[in-house]
Amino acid sequence: MKKRWLSFLLSAAMLVAMLPTALAASDIESHWAKSYIEYLDREGVINPSATTGNYEPDRDMTRAEFMRYINRAFHFTETTSISYTDVPSNAWYYETIQIAERYGYINGTGNNKMEPEGKVTREQAAVIIGRLFKADPGNVSPSDLTFTDKSQVSDWAAGYIKAAADKGFIAGYSDGTFKPGKVVSRGEVAKILYYYLGTSLSTAGKAYTGADLKTDTTNVTISENCTLSDAAIQGDLYITEGLGSDAVTLTNVTVNGSIIVSGGTVTMVNTTSDHMIVSSPMGRLMQVTATGATHIKQTEVQTAATLYEKGLTTTGYEGYADVVVNGGERVSLTLDANVTNLTLEDEATVSTTAGAAVYHLTADKAASITGYGSVYQADINADGVSFASSVTVSGYTLGRGVTATIGGQSVSVSSTAGVEPASISVDLNDLSALGSGVNISLPSGKSVSSVTCDGATLSPSVAYNTSGSGIRLLTSYLGTLTRGSHTLVLTLSDGKRSSIAVTVTNSSATADAEELVFDRYYKSSGFKDLNVKLDGVGAESDIVRVVLGLSGIDYGFNNSTRALVLRRGLLAQLRAGTYTVAVDLANGEQRTINLTVEDSTPEGVNIFVAEYDTYVPSEPDFALPLSRLTVRNVTAVKNSSVQTLKEGTDYQVSDKALTLTKTALENFRRSSGYVEFSVTMSDNSVYTLVIDYI
């Protein structure tokens, strides 16, 4: 795969090199698509004509050309046999269509034809690329769109058009229309690919960092084996089918959109995202490993996959919290992880390893659960669900009329212990609130045979006492639990089991420095400097450096409290998620802090925060959508009045960022606290630039 791609690039480079300099790119110098075409040219996706040197950005796009651009953009190279009657084997696009057929992103037009010389419409382009990025079309109809010609949009395209338009990847026209049936030009396809691709990480073996990401696009696309570290991705991260089974490693990466795994063998270290999709149209077995402080809130498994957890370091957060199997057809999932919720929306075969645990399984379709793991609670809502005898099922409920196989036995009656409460919260900083312990009630006439916590058997009188109606978990025992999530399992005298979730926190901000919480919304109570007391630290000289991920970060030190200070202006640069902060000490030891960054910023509010050090002043840059909008005005409040800043004197605008000058920063400076600068864009959207003075 790599050799053929390299050969293609070398050949293309030789052809372009042989062109007269005056001809190269002669027809895009003043064209609106110039920047998009030039970027895709550098990526080897779009090249000028070998005979004219022109890109022809306004020429209609044919289906064959569109497939060629897709194949190049995502590094699709594998072929399959084709037999379309209108695709001769000696045509330049024969292999292009073989590749497109192999990756399954475009269909023939019927009657065994592909129509390679046919044209691509705007709605077709939106659907094809949207499907590659696993866009969710949802239950959207043309009437849900805002375009004035929405009635002309095909039903099958409405959801993809809305998804692309909402993200700004495909725009309508100035008259409010979308023109779904209009043929796309080469320039329009370049723009669509530019924004969908975002930053293309396409060099095999390269170590990328957040500094390599473009600021005018939100997505990131990985199409070759590489590493990416210390990066915050505003949009989606797409790992393409073009990788085959090659390795990709993500370290200290936060993804605000979705992680889409369609190719490669992926390892995630200290990586966070609310949503991940694992789906290979090629039918390959996808393997994803979560390690370190990785936390994925929801994972959708749509094709065969293996999910591993290895060496997780963040207490209380699973690598994969909720897993949903929804492939449409029967999906095979191997689970070597602990998950809170496993939901089988479609038929599935799930194999759990000996160390795997599912706290709550919901089966809405027929499924086989094999292996050696544990399921604490199963809600079975369909016939055809079976658990191997080697899988431990603590309790289960059956839908009306549903029969299942558990432990080799056919069951038709629910088995749950009926224990209350279902969850317990413990604050290590306020154990007195629990009194002598927490009461757990049992069904009438039942007693406890055994109690375990995270698999370890608890001793009566040491961890709990029995009573007539149940047991009392002793506060003296609960106070020994570490922060995070724990699972308590009660086995009753009738053999039934019930699990109770125990959440342990510590409300003291400085009583224990191992875990801290920060809110990046500057108007919240959680937006504050974090004072961290560390064992072995009595003076600033005891600290050699503070590291977040792989990079050293600035910090302060409070001499009166002997505490490390993580300043709010710096923490606000981080996206919501979990992080590991390492503190290297002068004595050679290291202290580790688990940092959770929350974000209570109201929806629709655009805020950027930066520090301004009055002793070592620097001019901060703010990345704004300047590729499609212009700055209307910038204002700030001084002496209780709103003042308008002057471009050139108070701020500078480039093609990607707005920079506040020292003149403005000093003019509006306060002795302490922050100052808000409001930037109004040409579409009346407002961005708030918060400067925290230190």
Tokens representing 306?
Answer: 């293996």
**352 to 36, 210, 302, 368: CA distances (angstroms):** 46, 35, 17, 11
Average pLDDT over the chain reads: 85
Question: Does the structure show a pLDDT above 60 at 310?
Answer: yes
Q: What is the pLDDT of residue 483?
A: 67
Compute CA 653 distance to the chain's CA centroid, rounded to the nearest angstrom: 31
- 3-state SS track over 131-164: HHCCCCCCCCCHHHCCCCCHHHCCHHHHHHHHHH
Average pLDDT over residues 654-659: 80
Average pLDDT over residues 656-666: 86
Model pLDDT for residues 224-253, shown as the tens digit of each residue: 999 999 999 999 999 999 998 899 999 999
Q: Name which residue leads in pLDDT, 525 or 148.
A: 148
Q: Name which residue leads in pLDDT, 503 or 16.
A: 503
Using CA atoms, how far apart are residues 127 and 416, in angstroms rounded to an integer?
A: 46
Using CA atoms, how far apart are residues 221 and 54, in angstroms rounded to an integer?
A: 27
Model confidence at 1, in pLDDT bands (50, 70, 90)? Answer: very low
DSSP strands (E only) in 96-236 = 199-201, 207-209, 220-222, 226-233
Point out the least confidently predicted range of 24-38, 66-80, 397-411.
24-38
Average pLDDT over residues 290-314: 90
Model pLDDT for residues 251-280, shown as the tens digit of each residue: 999 999 999 999 999 999 999 999 999 999
Model confidence at 8, in pLDDT bands (50, 70, 90)? Answer: very low
Q: Name which residue leads in pLDDT, 546 or 483.
A: 546
User: Tell me, what amino acid is at 11?
Assistant: S
| CA nearest to 564, candidates 585, 580, 578 | 585
Decide if 605 contacts 678 (C-beta within 8 A). no
Bond from prior residue into 421 cis (ω within 30 degrees of 0): yes
Q: Count how many Cα atoms sit within 13 Å of the Cα of residue 493 in the half-sphere of its side chain.
A: 8
Model confidence at 513, in pLDDT bands (50, 70, 90)? Answer: very low
The CA R_g of the chain, rounded to the nearest whole Å, is 29
Model pLDDT for residues 595-611, shown as the tens digit of each residue: 888 888 887 788 888 88
| CA nearest to 192, candidates 120, 118, 105, 99 | 120
Other beta carbons within 10 angstroms of residue 121's beta carbon come to 18
Q: What percent of the chain shows pLDDT beyond 70?
A: 92
Q: What is the pLDDT of residue 17?
A: 40
Helix H or strand E encompassing 102 = helix 94-103
Q: Please give the full DSSP string across 343-399, using - where no structure is assigned.
A: EESS-EEEEE-TT-EEEEEEESS-EEEEES-EES-EEE-SSSEEE-TTSEE--EEE-
Q: Is 601 exposed, middle or buried (0-12, 13-18, 19+ CB in 10 A)?
A: middle
**366 to 53, 91, 605: CA distances (angstroms):** 59, 47, 44
Question: Does the structure show a pLDDT above 90 at 27?
Answer: no
Decide if 351 contacts 335 (C-beta within 8 A). yes
Long-range contact pairs involving 611-615 (C-beta distance under 8 Å, separation at least 24) = 611/567, 611/569, 611/570, 611/691, 611/692, 611/693, 611/694, 612/665, 612/669, 612/691, 612/692, 612/693, 612/694, 613/694, 614/669, 614/693, 614/694
Model confidence at 506, in pLDDT bands (50, 70, 90)? Answer: low
Average pLDDT over residues 556-584: 83
Q: What is the pLDDT of residue 671?
A: 65
Tokens representing 526?
Answer: 């959680």
Tokens representing 691?
Answer: 């400067």
Question: Does the structure show a pLDDT above 70 at 614?
Answer: no
Question: Does the structure show a pLDDT above 50 at 4?
Answer: no
Model confidence at 72, in pLDDT bands (50, 70, 90)? Answer: very high
Q: Name which residue leads in pLDDT, 265 or 493.
A: 265
3-class DSSP state for residue 478? Answer: helix
3-class DSSP state for residue 662? Answer: helix
Decide if 301 contacts 335 (C-beta within 8 A). no
Using CA atoms, how far apart are residues 248 and 232, in angstroms rounded to an integer?
A: 17
Model confidence at 320, in pLDDT bands (50, 70, 90)? Answer: very high
Model pLDDT for residues 106-135, shown as the tens digit of each residue: 888 888 999 999 999 999 888 888 888 887
Q: Name which residue leads in pLDDT, 586 or 32.
A: 32
pTM (predicted TM-score): 0.63
Other beta carbons within 10 angstroms of residue 504's beta carbon come to 20
Q: What is the pLDDT of residue 422?
A: 72
